[in-house]
Amino acid sequence: MVQTFFIYFGIPQLIQSLGFNFRLSPFVAGIITLSLNAGAYIAEIFRGGIEAIDHGQMEAARSLGLSRYRAMFKIILPQAVRVSIPALVNQFIISLKDTSIISIISLADIVYQARIYIGRTMQSFATWTIVGLFYLAIITVLSQISIYVEKRLDYGQKSRRQGTA
């Protein structure tokens, strides 16, 4: 929430104090906030995925004559992506839930629309139940996609874990 306020109110005020006429729309401020926040977490997820791969993988690739760049893209990153998938899907779900925070700057997301509807009808319980079910449905679909992707990326791993090649 602090990031949203800083980007929507703070940055335009700072630029205006320098003598420029600048204003951010709620949509642009929301996109910038969500992108910066998710981008930092996703970068850390990939860094952790790369760190999870044994350093011997890079040494083996380099000993076979692959350049550092080629070894990274052909050997290390495919394994790192496989390791990172659960955390990435979790981050996408968190980002989806974070969209409700940007309603504080009047960006018309589902939470903002629900508040308007409640103001007109005074049916808060039913409205928040529907909003909750909507988020639950989207998150359930994302979780099922995650399970499918994890299974697809797990090809060849099951037989190795069982001891047969």
Burial class, 93, CB count within 10 angstroms (exposed 0-12 / middle 13-18 / buried 19+): middle
This prediction's pTM: 0.69
Which run of H or E residues covers position 17? helix 11-17
Tens digits of per-residue pLDDT, 28-70? 888 898 899 899 999 999 999 999 999 999 999 999 999 999 9
Q: Which of 15, 156, 23 is nearest to 79 (CA)?
A: 156
What's the pLDDT score for residue 163?
A: 55
Tell me 23's DSSP state.
-
What's the pLDDT score for residue 36?
A: 92
Q: Which of 12, 72, 9, 17 is nearest to 46 (CA)?
A: 72
**Domains defined along the chain, listed by start:** 2-161 (1.10.3720.10)
**CA atoms within a 13 Å half-sphere pointing along the CA-CB vector of 51:** 6
Distance, CA of 43 to CA of 91 (rounded, Å): 11
Task: Give residue 70's identity as a one-letter amino acid code.
Answer: R
